[in-house]
């Protein structure tokens, strides 16, 4: 029942959090208008790179070290090592950042936004979500984050009303993230599962060296969600960033499904692969059909109904975001459909996975530089899709080379065909009646076909969710 508790709480908590983001994102876009909204997202993108540098892959490193040994002594030791390393990196980055802001014109124009965003950078340097993931108690972090997102939404509606409130928007984000971190620390402290031991610089260096391959992976992943925004701001304008950011906000909501499933899947992938390749293959086959179905639903709805979604949420002033969103939504498709493959590759060989991500990130940067000048934000969207599909294909090939064989036709290709047929047919036949009715009908038709053709069975679904204790693997 532990798996069901984690999954259900994460689903509810993240569902509410994403609903809040679904409301506040368009609200900020409308109130700030494209230029200021673009400036906020430009500064946020730059800070995301800084956050990745400060965390330095220690989230994943901590999970790898704590998951097999969840004793309080080991947890406390890892917390001390990781926090010390992060604070040292934060000090170095702060020293480097101050002169940069006042030298480069792009940064100088937004210096107030950078000052406001520093709180978020500090907060993520002491974040401890990884501890809860290591202990497979992700539901606690999800619940706390859900409450903080509600507070965030309330503050946004109160304090952000004009394009001049961009600084307030960034400050609110930092304050609510700090609330999450402090709440999780208090919970750990009360459970006597947190304590700071005396750690030397030598210990911090050992973590730095061990986490370096993971850092290369995470910084490369950050490229996908941020380099396009930064290059757009540098090569084009804040207004162009605003149109792209509107589409990106919706993509993040779609990709959040990957973030929701990740903490649930990752520890089990590590566990099953450590037992045998047969266990790993069994686990992959159990999950893949569900992952494929989710990816198809996200991709089809986003592509077919992009105009209606953009107009409904952002209004006519963001009309230029329609073609961007209908393109970039396929990033979520590729990331979700290859979710299990990617975690297996990461568990098998972190250095190899880092090379894949780095190669794809470099491809993304090159394509962005080439295509932004010609196509603007649409060029960034195409570059993002191409580099994401590259990761999916390479991870699938590596899984095959490890003799872990997913069922390509049954669990991937056939569900894709069913999903496209379901959504496209209802789109053509029922769209004139109601867009919502059309999309819901397509979803229902797809689910019914999955069960009728026995790609998904209700009895297996119950077992796979962890409701039935007969499922011995979990």
pLDDT digits (tens, 9 = 90+) for 250-265: 887 777 777 666 666 6
> Between these two residues, 220 and 85, which has the higher pLDDT value?
85
pLDDT at 327: 93
Which pLDDT band holds residue 323 (cuts at 50, 70, 90)? very high
Task: State if pTM tops 0.85.
Answer: no
Specify the higher pLDDT residue, 474 or 28: 28
**Which parts of 236-276 fold into alpha helices (H)?**
238-275
Parse the chain into domains and list their residue ranges: 1-199, 226-474
Residue 468 in this model has a pLDDT that exceeds 80: no
Which one of 110-114, 191-195, 312-316 scores highest in mean pLDDT?
312-316
Look at phi and psi of residue 454 and say left if phi exceeds 0, alpha if psi is from -120 to 50, else beta: left
With beta carbons less than 8 A apart as the criterion, state whether 387 and 361 touch: yes
For the ranges 17-26, 89-98, 256-265, 310-319, the lowest mean pLDDT is seen at: 256-265
Cβ atoms of 228 and 383 closer than 8 Å: yes
Whole-number Å distance between alpha carbons of 154 and 158: 6
Q: Coil, strand or helix: which one is 90?
A: helix
Mean pLDDT, the chain, whole residue set: 79
Could you count the other beta carbons within 10 Å of the beta carbon of residue 239?
Answer: 18
Task: Give per-residue pLDDT as tens, 205-221.
Answer: 777 777 777 777 777 66
The pLDDT-based confidence of 470 (bands split at 50, 70, 90) is: very low
Residues written for the chain? 474
Q: Which residue has the higher pLDDT, 21 or 114?
A: 114
Six-digit token string for 34 = 């494209």
Distance, in Å, from the CA atom of 313 to the CA atom of 242, rounded to the nearest integer, reads: 14
Report residue 474's pLDDT band, with 50, 70 and 90 as the boundaries: very low
- 90 neighbors 54 (Cβ within 8 angstroms): yes
Which is more confident, 145 or 9?
145
Confidence class for position 329, pLDDT limits 50, 70, 90 = very high
**pLDDT recorded at residue 386:** 93
Instruction: Assign 354 a pLDDT band (cuts: 50, 70, 90).
Output: confident
For the stretch 199-225, what's the b/e string if a residue is b when 16 or more beta carbons lie within 10 angstroms of its beta carbon? beeebbeebbebbbbbbbbbbbbbbbb
| Mean pLDDT along residues 128-152 | 79
Please name the residue that has the structure tokens 């520890």: 267
Long-range contacts of 358-362 (CB under 8 A, 24+ apart): 358/216, 358/217, 358/220, 359/390, 360/220, 360/224, 360/387, 360/388, 360/390, 360/391, 360/394, 361/219, 361/220, 361/221, 361/223, 361/224, 361/227, 361/387
What is the mean pLDDT of the segment spanning 182-191? 79
Q: Which two three-digit tokens encode residue 224? A: 């996908």
What pLDDT does 469 receive?
Answer: 41
pLDDT, tens digit, 9 for 90 and up, residues 399-451:
777 666 777 788 788 888 998 899 888 888 876 567 778 888 888 888 888 88
- Residue-level pLDDT at 124: 86
Between CA 432 and CA 438 the distance in angstroms is: 9
More confident residue, 76 or 419: 419
Please tell me the predicted confidence (pLDDT) of residue 21. Answer: 73
Which residues are within 8 A (CB) of 130 and not within 5 positions of it... i.e. 6 or more apart? 58, 59, 60, 62, 63, 66
Torsion sign (Cα): 109, 112, 116, 121: positive
Assess whether pLDDT exceeds 90 at residue 7.
no
Please give the Cα distance from 77 to 94 (Å, whole number).
Answer: 26
- Which residues have CB under 8 Å from 17's CB, separation 6+? 142, 145, 146, 149, 256
Name the residue among 137, 147, 187, 181 with its Cα closest to residue 14.
Answer: 147
Work out the angle between the directed axes of helices 58-66 and 238-275 (0-180°, nearest 10). 20
Helix (H, G, I), strand (E, B) or coil at 248: helix
Mean predicted confidence (pLDDT) in 125-152: 80
3-class SS letters over 295-333: HHHHHHHHHHCHHHHHHHHHCHHHCCHHHHHHHHHHHHH
- Residue 228 Cα distances to 46, 47, 396, angstroms: 11, 14, 26
Instruction: Please report the pLDDT score of residue 325 as a whole number.
Output: 93
């Amino acid at each position: 029942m532990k798996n069901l508790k984690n999954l259900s709480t994460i689903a509810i908590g993240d569902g509410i959090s994403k609903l809040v983001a679904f409301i506040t994102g368009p609200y900020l876009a409308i109130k700030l208008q494209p230029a200021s909204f673009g400036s906020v997202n430009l500064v946020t993108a730059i800070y995301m790179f800084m956050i990745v540098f400060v965390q330095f892959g220690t989230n994943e490193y901590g999970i790898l070290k704590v998951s097999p040994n969840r004793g309080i002594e080991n947890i406390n030791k890892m917390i001390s090592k990781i926090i010390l390393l992060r604070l040292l990196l934060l000090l170095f980055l702060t020293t480097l950042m101050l002169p940069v802001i006042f030298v480069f014109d792009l940064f100088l124009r937004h210096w107030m936004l950078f000052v406001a965003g520093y709180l978020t950078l500090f907060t993520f340097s002491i974040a401890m979500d990884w501890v809860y993931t290591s202990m497979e108690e992700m539901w606690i972090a999800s619940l706390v984050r859900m409450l903080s997102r509600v507070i965030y939404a309330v503050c946004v509606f109160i304090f952000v009303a004009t394009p001049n409130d961009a600084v307030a928007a960034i400050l609110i984000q930092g304050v609510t993230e700090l609330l999450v971190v402090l709440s999780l620390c208090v919970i750990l402290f009360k459970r006597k599962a947190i304590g700071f031991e005396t750690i030397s610089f030598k210990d911090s260096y050992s973590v730095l060296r061990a986490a370096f391959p993971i850092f290369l992976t995470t910084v490369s992943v950050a490229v996908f969600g941020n380099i396009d925004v930064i290059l757009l701001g540098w090569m084009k304008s804040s207004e162009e960033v605003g149109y792209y950011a509107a589409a990106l906000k919706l993509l993040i909501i779609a990709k959040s499904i990957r973030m929701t499933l990740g903490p649930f899947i990752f520890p089990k992938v590590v566990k099953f692969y450590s037992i045998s390749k047969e266990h790993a293959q069994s686990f992959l086959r159990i999950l893949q059909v569900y992952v494929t179905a989710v990816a198809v639903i996200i991709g089809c709805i986003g592509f077919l109904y992009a105009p209606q979604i953009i107009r409904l949420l952002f209004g006519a002033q963001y009309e230029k975001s329609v073609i961007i969103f209908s393109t970039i939504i396929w990033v979520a498709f590729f990331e979700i459909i290859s979710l299990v493959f990617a975690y297996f590759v990461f568990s098998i060989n972190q250095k190899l996975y880092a090379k894949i991500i780095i190669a794809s990130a470099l491809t993304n940067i090159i394509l962005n530089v080439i295509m932004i000048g010609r196509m603007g934000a649409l060029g960034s969207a195409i570059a993002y899709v191409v580099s994401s599909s590259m990761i999916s294909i390479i991870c699938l090939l590596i899984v095959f080379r490890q003799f872990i064989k997913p069922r390509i036709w049954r669990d991937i290709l056939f569900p894709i065909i069913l999903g496209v047929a379901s959504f496209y047919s209802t789109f053509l036949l029922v769209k004139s009646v109601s867009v919502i009715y059309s999309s819901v009908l397509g979803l229902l038709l797809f689910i019914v076909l999955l069960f009728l053709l026995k790609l998904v069975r209700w009895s297996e679904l119950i077992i796979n969710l962890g409701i039935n204790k007969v499922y011995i693997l979990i």
